[in-house]
Structure 1
Amino acid sequence: MNVQLSGEAERDLLNGVAFYDGGDRHAGDHFLESLTTDLRSLSFLGGVHAMRHGYHCMSASRFPFAIYYAVESGSILVIAILDERRDPGWIANRLQLG
Structure 2
Amino acid sequence: MTFKDVYILKDAVNDLEDGKIFYDQQELGVGDYFWDSVLADMESLMIHAGIHKKSNALHQMLAKRFPYVIYYEIKNDIVYVVAVLPMRRNPVWIIKKLEERS
Q: Which amino acid aligns with 1:87?
A: N
| Deviation string, structure 1 residues 27-56 (Cα, Å, up to 9, x no partner) | 111101110110100110011100012100
Give SS of 1:25's match.
Answer: coil
Matched, 1:94 2:97: yes
Give SS of 1:35's match.
Answer: helix
Give SS of 1:15's match.
Answer: helix
TM-score relative to the length of structure 1 = 0.97
Segments of structure 1 that go 5 or more residues without pairing to the other structure are none
**Which residue does the alignment assign to 2:71?**
68
Runs of 4+ residues over 3 Å off in structure 1: none
The alpha carbon displacement at 1:65 in A equals 0.2
The equivalent position to 1:10 in structure 2, one of 13, 31, 34, is 13
| Deviation string, structure 1 residues 37-92 (Cα, Å, up to 9, x no partner) | 10100110011100012100000000000000000110000000000001111111
Segments of structure 2 that go 5 or more residues without pairing to the other structure are none
RMSD: 0.7
The equivalent position to 1:19 in structure 2, one of 1, 18, 22, is 22
Q: State the alpha-carbon separation in 1 of the partners of residues 97 and 57 from structure 2.
A: 12
**Which residue does the alignment assign to 2:40?**
37
Q: State the alpha-carbon separation in 2 of the partners of residues 96 and 36 from structure 1.
A: 23
The alpha carbon displacement at 1:20 in A equals 0.3
TM-score relative to the length of structure 2 = 0.93
Query: How many pairs are equivalent?
Result: 98
